[in-house]
Amino acid sequence: MSYVRKFMSSLFALLLAVFTLVPHAAFAYSYGNPNEEAVAENYKQVVAKLNQTPADYAGASKTFESIKQELDMHMGPEPSQAITQALLAQDKQAAISAYQKTLVLNVARRLESAEKEFANYQQSKLLLAKALATYDALSPVIKGKDAALDQKVRESFDLTLQALGNPGLFGVGVKEPDQQALITHKDEILQSLQTFFNMPELKVGHFTPGQGPGNEVGNDTPTITDNLKNWLPLVLIVLVILFIVVRTMQKRRT
């Protein structure tokens, strides 16, 4: 009987250890969103401060300061200067409008980077997600004036995402990437935003592809959708399992 008892008590010790050591939240049923965009979040906070009565300019400036440096680094100093000046002048409409234009520039930056990183599936996808997260912050403004345009831009975003393709699951549901489609739909989005926000051009400052607020640079290896190299480990694993099964099935000494 002793082996049973020993086995059981060690098992319980293990279970107890798991329950106490691993924080409970780790098990909680959860779906986090890894695709948030820091600038867009900051914009929402700043606008919320400005829309208070009376408008909280000091609070808005303070909130904006936290992201200003990163913005300057990736988009040049002009966009943030416009926002800061409007905040100093206590001109709410000008500040919000300037920030919205900065967001449009950010969408452009993310989309251009996604195009440059096209061969790197995961990176380009993340960049698209961040572009969309930025657009989500702008969306209420557009929807309020032109719901059809909002619909159109969202459709274009869906199509850019589809243009990246999908590596599928074990080769099932593979969708080939289409760089030309990405460029087409990217241009549609940028054209729509540029016209709506009445901006002369979208190329302000300098874009640094793959970098930016809230986006650490990954040294990800490029993944091409249907790469034979990807199948090698899978085949290897299956072969080893087959080998084990066959070896176990073989006749053995008694």
**Residues lying near other proteins in the complex (CB under 8 A):** 1, 3-4, 7-8, 11, 15, 19, 24-35, 44-45, 47-48, 51-53, 120-123, 125-126, 129, 137, 139-140, 143-144, 147, 151, 154, 166-170, 172-173, 175, 218-221, 223, 230, 233-234, 237-238, 240-241, 244-245, 247-249, 251-252, 254
Least Å from the CB of residue 238 to other proteins: 7
Spatial distance between the Cα atoms of 166 and 124, rounded to a whole number of angstroms: 12
Provide Rg for the chain, Cα atoms.
Answer: 26
The DSSP secondary structure of 105-172, one letter per residue, reads HHHHHHHHHHHHTTTBHHHHHHHHHHHHHHHHHHHHHHHHH-HHHHHHHHHHHHHHHHHT-B-TBTTB
Least Å from the CB of residue 139 to other proteins: 8
Of residues 79 and 167, the one with the C-beta less far from other proteins: 167
Least Å from the CB of residue 215 to other proteins: 11
Task: Assess contact for 204 and 105: CB atoms under 8 A.
Answer: yes
Of residues 11 and 206, the one with the C-beta less far from other proteins: 11
Least Å from the CB of residue 167 to other proteins: 5
The residues that bridge with 223 in the sheet, in sequence order, are 120
Spatial distance between the Cα atoms of 17 and 249, rounded to a whole number of angstroms: 38
Least Å from the CB of residue 41 to other proteins: 8
